[in-house]
């Protein structure tokens, strides 16, 4: 490979923002560009943002491959973005379009899967073969590493932690079911509950500030959310025998506020005899886990293709 063109152009597509970056193969972010957008965007809008990020970062000069995250279901084998619950976008040949934009080979996968992959390549799980990665943000998702490999399942949908039922007849989830973890513990849930009780809608970052200042209602919201997250973790631990769980995402930045509820739920719900130690940790990758996951996907796909 040409050393001068060995970098990776990364595209992290979120529900309300996009971050593009140029990364090296150690997962280090050399340059980045970010934009935010409102609901109602089209696929054409998103790819126009990709073009802008590619241009601003001058990625055509030193990159040779593209990796991308999508917020929803993605077929990593065909490069198709299958469905995005937040926007309703579906059946988009994302890797073909990214190759058209960049002139590079392109790979894409679900954003939370790639957060897990980044943790395995660059984060706290480099020496751990089995773990669960959970994003707690506006929604909740999960990525599974089993036997040293990212596990996607037969329909490429494994790890959908957000749609485990943690409260019978609980709040209505966007998926149409009630009591899903996403409906009971996501950032959107915390803000909605606070608004219902106080008549004002605050972002979770502000709610976390109130909780740290001792606001009892905000503290209770995070503790309850932690309890539901702990219930979800317990189901996964009991089913898969995991001893490591990593939390990331915007709401998980307030890990210390969630941890008491998580610990209580684990104590009540985990099968102790089969799982004597369960470590729940906050990801060291911070807000750039998904962007680093784009680089990890490229490395993983190149390694897989070399082994064929």
Confidence of residue 229 (pLDDT cuts 50, 70, 90): very high
Q: Does a structural domain hold residue 289?
A: no
134 and 280 share one domain: yes
Q: Which two tokens stand for residue 109?
A: 């996968």
75/215 same-domain check: no
Report if residue 298 sits inside a domain: no
The verdict on 76 and 129 lying in the same domain is no
Share of the chain above pLDDT 70, in %: 98
Q: What is the chain's alpha carbon radius of gyration, rounded to the nearest angstrom?
A: 19
Look at strands 80-83 and 90-92 and give their pairing.
Answer: antiparallel
Whether residue 295 is contained in a domain is answered as no
Same domain, 92 and 169: no
Please count the structural domains in the chain: 2
Inside any domain, residue 304: no
The residue range of the domain holding 28 is: 3-110
Task: Tell whether 302 is covered by a domain.
Answer: no
- Checking if the pLDDT of 2 tops 60, the result is no
Residue 99 and residue 134 in one domain: no
H-helix or E-strand spanning residue 80? strand 80-83
**Two tokens, residue 72:** 């929803």
199 and 156 assigned to the same domain:
yes
Say how far apart CA 15 and CA 70 lie, in whole Å: 9
DSSP assignment of 112-138, as one string?
Answer: HHHHHHHHHHHSTTTT-SSEEEEEESS
Q: What's the pLDDT score for residue 84?
A: 82
User: Does 82 lie in the same domain as 131?
Assistant: no
The answer to whether position 303 is within a domain reads: no
Interval 236-281: pLDDT, tens: 999 999 999 999 999 999 999 999 999 999 999 999 999 999 999 9
**Chain segment 147-204, per-residue pLDDT in tens:** 999 999 988 889 989 999 999 999 999 888 999 999 999 998 999 999 999 999 999 9
In this structure, is residue 249 part of a structural domain?
A: yes
- Is the model's pLDDT at 86 over the cut of 80? no
- If one counts every other C-beta atom within 10 angstroms of the C-beta of residue 37, the result is 15
pLDDT digits (tens, 9 = 90+) for 95-131: 999 999 999 999 999 999 999 999 999 999 999 999 9
Contacts (Cβ under 8 Å, ≥6 apart) of 227? 261, 262, 264, 265
300's CB contacts (< 8 A; 6+ apart) are 117, 121, 150
Same domain, 132 and 239: yes
Question: Are the C-beta atoms of residues 91 and 108 closer than 8 Å to each other?
Answer: no
Domain shared by 275 and 184, yes or no: yes
* 218: helix, strand or coil: helix
State the pLDDT at residue 4.
53
Q: Does residue 5 register a pLDDT over 70?
A: no
One domain for residues 103 and 143: no
* CATH code where residue 168 lies: 3.30.420.40
83-111: burial string, b at 16+ Cβ within 10 Å, e else: bbbebebeebebbebbbebbebebbbbbb
| 118 within a domain of the structure (yes/no) | no
Does residue 3 carry a pLDDT above 50? no
Q: How far apart are the first and last CA of the chain?
A: 19
Tokens of residue 133, six digits: 């990665």
Stretch 199-227: mean pLDDT, rounded? 96
């Amino acid at each position: 490979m040409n050393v001068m063109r060995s970098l990776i152009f990364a595209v992290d597509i979120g529900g309300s923002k996009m971050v593009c970056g140029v990364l090296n193969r150690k997962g280090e972010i050399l340059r980045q560009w970010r934009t935010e957008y409102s609901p109602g965007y089209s696929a054409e809008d998103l790819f126009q943002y990709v073009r802008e990020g590619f241009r601003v970062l001058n990625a055509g000069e030193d990159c040779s491959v593209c990796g991308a995250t999508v917020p929803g279901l993605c077929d990593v084998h065909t490069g198709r973005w299958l469905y995005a619950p937040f926007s309703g976008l579906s059946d988009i040949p994302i890797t073909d379009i990214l190759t058209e934009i960049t002139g590079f080979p392109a790979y894409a996968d679900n954003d939370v899967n790639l957060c897990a992959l980044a943790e395995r390549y660059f984060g706290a799980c480099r020496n751990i073969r089995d773990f669960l990665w959970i994003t707690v943000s506006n929604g909740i998702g999960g990525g599974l590493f089993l036997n040293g490999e990212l596990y996607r399942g037969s329909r490429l949908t494994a790890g959908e932690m957000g749609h485990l039922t943690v409260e019978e007849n609980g709040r209505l989830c966007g998926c149409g079911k009630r009591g899903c973890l996403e409906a009971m513990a996501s950032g959107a849930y915390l803000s909605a509950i606070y608004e219902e009780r106080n008549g004002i809608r605050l972002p979770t970052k502000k709610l976390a500030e109130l909780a740290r200042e001792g606001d009892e209602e905000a503290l209770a919201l995070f503790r309850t959310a932690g309890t539901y997250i702990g219930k979800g973790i317990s189901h996964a631990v009991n089913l898969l025998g995991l001893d490591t769980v990593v939390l990331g995402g915007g709401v998980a930045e307030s890990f210390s506020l969630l941890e008491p509820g998580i610990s209580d739920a684990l104590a009540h719900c985990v099968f102790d005899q089969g799982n004597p130690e369960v470590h729940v940790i906050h990801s060291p990758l911070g807000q750039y886990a998904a962007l680093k996951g784009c680089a990890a996907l490229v490395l993983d796909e190149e390694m897989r293709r070399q082994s064929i």
